[in-house]
Amino acid sequence: MGVIIWQIVAVVLLTALGLCGYLAILLKKALQASLIREEKAYKELLDYPQANPNPVMRINKLGVLTYANPACAPILVHWKMNLNEKLPAEWREIIRQVILSGKDQEIDINCGKYYYTLHVVPMGAEMTSVFGMDISARRQIEKELERRATTDEITQLPNRIIYEQNMALEIHHAKKNKVKLGIFIIRLDDYYEIINTYGQELANQFLKIFKDRLTDFIAGKATVARISENEFGVIEPDIREPSGMASYVQSLIEKCTIPYKIGEHDIFITISIGIAFYPNDGDTPDVLTRNAQLAVNRTSSTRNQYEFFQRGMIDQLQVKRNIITDLHRALENQQFVLYYQPQIQLKNNQMIGCEALIRWNHPQKGFISPFFFMTAAEETQLINPIGEWVLREACQQIIRWQKEGRPRIKVAVNVSARQLFQGDIVDVVRRAIRDTRISPDQLELELTESALVQDINTAIDIMKAFRALGVELALDDFGTGYSSLSYLMQFPVNKIKIDRSFVKIIEDDHEENYAVTKGIIELGHSLNLKVIAEGVETKTQLRYLKQHKCDQIQGYYFAQPQPVDKFAAFFKTEWKS
């Protein structure tokens, strides 16, 4: 029995020893595998900088490069150095400051076409590590965004931002050297008409050619920039003789207004130039630009191609601001009145209509002509409520005359460009007709061609809507538009109105001198349109127009515009031509 027990114990012990040996073998293998993994990880850690696509460097306290991975190559080329050599002096100082302060530094570096951000980290008192990041793609995007923010996309010229920055630098230079500086603003008078006539693509081609002509003429040290859609700015440094600028500007105008041949089109343009000088007209970019702008704006009223800034222009601007302020009150306080000027039919000397003309009865200044305030109204939103008031008042007057038993006549009302495109003008006219209950054919709307060509397709749609209401249309200031003959057949008008400039020139009976005036009358009749001449003041003018079968006449020869109470007498007047 005892022997059996000892045999059992021996078997158990042997089994246990076998299991322990087996377990030891398994443990040994596990330890070996773990060591292999750790060695591999350690080796990978040691090799990581070599594989890193971004620069990694180690630099000692003396500024000696002790390690650099392959990604550092562009930096080392930029620094003109190799491994175990000293960094450039400025970078050795950076390393010294990092070790002394114990604080990281982050620095951007430009290595030609490569850009990096280098993060310098202190590693005790003897060594620094530098970890870089390639930011070339980001900088390329930033440069492109900066270029777009400062460069005009079409002409590739500097934009207004750079223009004003360069002006500040040139002012500093001019002040230091005691010389004058010329500031020019060049406006393309016909730019929007070109867009509406030929399209944006051709307009862009025109801009590029215009830029080439302008830069070729300016050359030298001058700055040329595109500062708005239809304006270019020029900074001309070192002006010695401002008095000689007139001939310089005239030559510039001649160079830039030579007809432009683009594809099948010959483009004719005019330009206007405003000129200011440093230091006479201002000593900051804002003031000089504003004053040159005032000068170029002045050309529209003087009809000159260029204007030099004058101090009186600022006073005129203040007067204009005062007018705008007073205009708001005028509308609220019912200070506007309508005057009416007769329109006479020549074949029977009968008054067949009149034009409604606004006047402003200012409480302090008395009656003010629209010449002095309608431009200000056009530049503000006031033109829409003022225009609607004129329309409604004219319609109401038609009804008053009807109730008084007056002969039936048409009343012509002017519609401005801003009214035409920036308001609900068709609805305004529709409501006026509905509310006053006039017969629509007694209302005539006068539209200028210069307004219509701003957006020809929209203008035609609006005119068709007017005609659908039963309203008649007249093309005002005919002959002065951008492309009168090209678009006349597309405009659904009943009448053309010869501009007064073609009437004023008639001084004798030599018809060969007034071929354009005669041609307009014949053109109108060939299209079955009535023709009316405005601004008729002399017997000679009347005789010439009657001889060439102009249908209607309006002007001081027959009558000046009159208030409604005096106009009533015209219904009984026997007109003699």
Alpha helices in 312-438 (DSSP H): 312-332, 370-378, 383-403, 417-422, 425-436
Tell me yes or no: is domain 326-571 CATH 3.40.50.1240: no
Calculate the dihedral angle through the C-alpha atoms of 58, 123, 44, 76, rounding to the nearest 10 degrees: -10
Torsion of CA 327, 433, 448, 386, to 10 degrees: 0
| Residue 567 · residue 354 · CB < 8 Å | yes
Q: Look up residue 194 and give its amino acid.
A: I
CA dihedral over 508, 509, 515, 520, signed as positive or negative: positive
User: In b/e form, how buried is each residue of 384-414, taking b as 16+ CB within 10 angstroms?
Assistant: bebbbebbbbbbebbeebeeeeeeebbbbbb
Burial class (CB in 10 A: 0-12, 13-18, 19+), 47: exposed
370 vs 20, residue with greater confidence: 370
Which of 135-139, 188-192, 221-225 bottoms out in mean pLDDT, i.e. has the lowest?
Answer: 135-139
* Segment among 92-106, 145-159, 222-236 with least mean pLDDT: 145-159
* Other C-beta atoms lying within 10 Å of the C-beta of residue 501: 13
Share of the chain above pLDDT 90, in %: 42
Cα(234)–Cα(158) distance, integer angstroms: 11
User: pLDDT-based confidence at 434, cuts 50/70/90?
Assistant: very high
Asked whether the predicted pLDDT for residue 42 surpasses 50, the reply is no
Q: What is the pLDDT of residue 11?
A: 46
Res. 34: pLDDT tops 60: no
Which residues, in sequence order, are bridge partners of residue 346? Answer: none
Looking at per-residue pLDDT, the higher value among 68 and 43 belongs to 68
Q: Which residue has the higher pLDDT, 25 or 99?
A: 99
Nearest C-alpha neighbor of 341 from the set 185, 446, 485, 469:
446
Better-scored residue on pLDDT, 341 or 451: 341
Fold of the domain built from segment(s) 151-310: Alpha-Beta Plaits (3.30.70)
Supply the DSSP string of 137-161, one letter for each residue: HHHHHHHHHHHHHHB-TTT--B-HH
pLDDT tens digits along 492-527: 999 999 888 888 888 866 666 678 888 889 888 988
Segment 378-394, tens digit of pLDDT: 777 788 899 999 999 99
Cα 489-492-493 angle, rounded to 5 deg = 95
Whether residue 96 contacts residue 63, with contact meaning beta carbons closer than 8 Å, is answered with yes
Give the bridge partners for 533, in sequence order: 498, 553
Q: Name the 3-class secondary structure at 555.
A: coil
What is the predicted pLDDT for the residue at 140?
79
Structure confidence at residue 47 as a pLDDT band (50, 70, 90)? very low
CA 343 to chain centre: 41
Give per-residue pLDDT as tens, 234-273: 998 867 666 677 788 888 999 998 989 998 888 888 899 9
3-state SS assignment for residue 14: helix
Cα-flanking dihedrals φ and ψ of residue 353, to 5°?
A: -175, -175
Q: Which CATH class is domain 56-138?
A: alpha beta
**What is the C-alpha end-to-end distance of the chain, expressed in Å?**
163
CA distance 73 to 82: 9
Q: Matching CATH topology for 56-138 and 326-571?
A: no
Label residue 45 by pLDDT band (50, 70, 90). Answer: very low
Q: Which tokens belong to 321?
A: 């601001």
Residue from 138, 140, 141, 119 nearest 130 by CA: 119
Check whether 400 has a pLDDT greater than 90. yes
The structural domains of the chain, with segments of one domain joined by +, span: 56-138, 151-310, 326-571
Average model confidence (pLDDT) for the chain? 84
Per-residue model confidence (pLDDT) at position 478 = 80
Q: pTM, whole model, 2 decimals?
A: 0.56
Phi (first) and psi of residue 425, to 5 degrees = -60, -40
pLDDT value at position 16? 46
Going edge to edge, which strands form the sheet with 65-68?
Answer: 65-68, 56-60, 127-134, 114-123, 105-111
The structure tokens listed for 357 are 């003309």
What would the two tokens of residue 117 be? 């951000």
Angular region, 310: left φ>0, alpha ψ -120 to 50, beta rest:
beta
> Quick check: 48 pLDDT over 70?
no
pLDDT above 60: residue 23: no
pLDDT at 324 over 90: no
Please give the Cα distance from 12 to 16 (Å, whole number): 6
Q: Mind listing the pLDDT tens digit for each residue in 2-16?
A: 555 545 544 444 454
C-alpha span between 308 and 180 (Å, rounded): 15
Burial classification of residue 100, based on how many CB atoms lie within 10 Å of its CB (0-12 exposed, 13-18 middle, 19 or more buried): exposed
CA angle (350, 351, 357) in 5-degree steps:
160
pLDDT, tens digit, 9 for 90 and up, residues 56-91: 999 999 999 999 999 999 999 999 999 999 999 999
Name the most confidently modeled range: 143-152, 360-369, 456-465. Answer: 456-465
Q: Phi and psi (nearest 5°) for 567? A: -65, -30
| Cα dihedral sign, 366-371-372-374 | positive
Pairing of strands 271-278, 306-308: parallel
Give the range among 137-151, 447-461, 525-539 with minimum mean pLDDT: 137-151
Q: Rounded distance, CA 164 to CA 158, Å? A: 10
Is 387 in contact with 451 (CB distance < 8 Å)? no
- Compare 165 and 34 and report the one with higher pLDDT: 165
Q: Which pLDDT belongs to residue 420?
A: 87
Tell me the angle at which helices 312-332 and 285-302 cross, rounded to the nearest 10 degrees. 70
pLDDT at 567 (0 to 100): 93
